[in-house]
């Protein structure tokens, strides 16, 4: 059993601390947010993460997990002084795309001023390459008493919505340090997980995190660009992705065309890596294209809606899904939130619904009706857009949704539905990149003339002509 302090109780910190406690260690989670710590002491979770609340309760009851706002209490407990300090604070995006390290600096300074014994500082936060060296300098110059310490980079690879499973069943553990013995001490914590452990230097470990996220974001933007080409040429991107995925060199993961990536990691990390490259005089063309394609995906949905509805001014648009992905209440860089703003700017009246992210959404959305459920949202809508592929949305009563709508326009931003099924339910349906199998007002366009753009039907909405043929 090790004595561990985790600083920062957001997604990464709270999951990391709780899982380490569940593995039999004594863990103190520290945060300067007094309200958040007070809530955790009452078993009120600051985030939605499946399985987390039960695990927190279990380890608090077993006296392996506790919460505090005091550095002295977290680091210098006479009976159990901290041996390892995991830094898991936020590194938000700065003005020019750089990672903002103000919270990392504050933690390094506080640890240096308070700790009264040798310690290993472990960076869990996603930080620019070179931050480990910088943290060591900050600690060295801020120490009240000269104590030996080491810095280890241990990037996290947790996906929101499956973070506990990802922690306990990792693909690999990456550790970087100039002190091999310190890296090996951290490695011992992970031995029970029986995962491959890679020990390298600080900067390489930091770069592995950025390179990994940038590559996954690139796969998403790649398949979205292919989807746009499929749509123009009449191919179905869902089947294209399956065919590609059988190739072991490519793999099927992250080849789902849709509204692009969001959340707290990919947008920030791709932007930060781009900034680092620019600072070094490099020209990150691919990374810039990845970000541009991601932005364009949301705009294409607004364009589809405008075309199908014969304009958007005064139309009512419903957004199904506000969390950036299922199984989380995180709305950071959410496609659904972006679409709300874009439709409002286009003159539409917007309604929205999400199974768990409504409270967070209410804090950032203005002049939006937040609905009780999917059917309340559909009522009176001219256009419904699926933005997040929650399981709840997979089993909608489509006939009821259609009856509640004023116009039957449904744009599937996640290609969740079968086009033929949506046509059968009476919808004018658009997926993203569904090409040859798209559905028009006259049914599936499974003929060569429609595939080549000929004989595109037009439907009349109460005297307003709106083209509904696949483009």
Which residues does 311 contact at the CB level (< 8 Å), separation at least 6? 464
User: From start to end of 300-431, where are the E strands?
Assistant: 316-320, 349-353, 369-370, 383-386, 409-412, 428-430
Any idea which residue has 């992705």 for tokens? 241
Measured from the Cβ of residue 62, the count of other Cβ atoms closer than 10 Å reads: 11
Taking alpha carbons only, the member of 469, 426, 433 closest to residue 449 is: 469
Taking alpha carbons only, the member of 400, 406, 405, 427 closest to residue 416 is: 427
Which residue in the list 19, 29, 230, 265 is annotated as catalytic?
265
- The SS3 of residue 322 is coil
Distance CA 7, CA 67 (A): 10
- The SS3 of residue 386 is strand
> Could you give the C-alpha distances from 278 to 205, 256, 283, in angstroms and in order?
20, 30, 6
Taking alpha carbons only, the member of 338, 300, 301, 306 closest to residue 322 is: 338
Distance CA 339, CA 181 (A): 49
Residue 152's H or E segment, with its range, is strand 149-153
Distance CA 375, CA 392 (A): 12
> Could you give the C-alpha distances from 112 to 130, 145, 383, 411, 431, in angstroms and in order?
19, 8, 56, 54, 54
- For the chain, what is the largest distance between any 2 Cα atoms, rounded to a whole number of angstroms? 81
> Could you give the C-alpha distances from 338 to 342, 361, 388, 461, in angstroms and in order?
6, 11, 12, 27
Question: Which tokens hold the place of 335?
Answer: 């496609």
Catalytic, 230? Answer no
Question: Which tokens hold the place of 301?
Answer: 């949905």
- The SS3 of residue 110 is helix
64 — phi, psi (to 5°)? -95, -15
| Neighbour-count burial of 280, counting CB atoms closer than 10 A to its CB (0-12 exposed, 13-18 middle, 19+ buried) | exposed
Q: Which residues are known catalytic residues?
A: 265
């Amino acid at each position: 059993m090790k004595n561990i302090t985790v600083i920062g109780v957001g997604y990464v910190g709270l999951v990391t601390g709780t899982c380490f406690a569940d593995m039999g260690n004594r863990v103190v989670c520290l945060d300067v947010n007094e309200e958040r710590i007070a809530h955790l002491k009452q078993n009120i979770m600051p985030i939605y993460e499946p399985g987390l609340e039960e695990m927190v309760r279990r380890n608090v009851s077993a006296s392996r997990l506790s919460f505090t706002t005091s550095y002295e209490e977290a680091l210098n407990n006479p009976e159990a002084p901290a041996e390892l300090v995991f830094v898991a604070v936020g590194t938000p995006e700065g003005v020019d795309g750089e990672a903002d390290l103000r919270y990392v600096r504050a933690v390094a300074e506080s640890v240096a001023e308070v700790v009264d014994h040798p310690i290993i500082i472990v960076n869990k936060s996603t930080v620019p390459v070179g931050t480990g060296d910088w943290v060591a300098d900050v600690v060295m110059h801020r120490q009240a008493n000269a104590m030996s310490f080491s810095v280890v980079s241990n990037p996290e690879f947790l996906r929101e919505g499956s973070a506990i499973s990802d922690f306990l069943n990792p693909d690999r553990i990456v550790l970087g340090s100039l002190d091999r013995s310190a890296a090996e001490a951290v490695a011992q914590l992970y031995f029970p997980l029986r995962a491959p452990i890679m020990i390298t230097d600080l900067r390489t470990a930091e770069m592995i995190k950025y390179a990994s996220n940038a590559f996954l974001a690139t796969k998403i933007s790649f398949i979205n660009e292919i989807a746009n080409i499929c749509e123009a040429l009449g191919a179905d991107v869902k089947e294209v992705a399956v065919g590609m995925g059988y190739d072991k060199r490519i793999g099927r993961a992250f080849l789902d065309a849709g509204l692009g990536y969001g959340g707290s990691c990919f947008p920030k990390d791709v932007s930060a890596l781009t900034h680092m490259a620019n600072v070094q005089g490099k020209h990150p063309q691919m990374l810039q294209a990845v970000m541009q394609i991601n932005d364009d995906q949301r705009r294409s949905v607004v364009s589809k809606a405008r075309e199908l509805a014969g304009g958007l001014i005064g139309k009512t648009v419903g957004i199904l899904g506000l969390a950036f992905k299922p199984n989380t209440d995180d709305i950071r860089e959410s496609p659904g939130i972006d679409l709300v703003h874009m439709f409002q700017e286009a003159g539409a009246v917007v309604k929205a619904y999400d199974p768990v992210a409504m409270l967070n959404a209410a804090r950032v959305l203005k002049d939006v009706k937040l609905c009780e459920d999917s059917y309340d949202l559909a009522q009176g809508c001219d256009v419904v857009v699926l933005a997040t592929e929650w399981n709840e949305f997979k089993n909608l009563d489509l006939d009821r949704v259609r009856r509640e709508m004023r116009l039957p326009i449904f744009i599937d931003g996640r290609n969740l539905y079968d086009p033929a099924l949506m046509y059968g339910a009476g919808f004018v349906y658009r997926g993203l990149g569904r090409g040859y199998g798209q559905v028009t007002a006259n049914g599936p366009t499974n003929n060569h003339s429609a595939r080549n753009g000929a004989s595109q039907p037009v439907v009349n909405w109460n005297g307003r002509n709106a083209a509904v043929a696949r483009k």
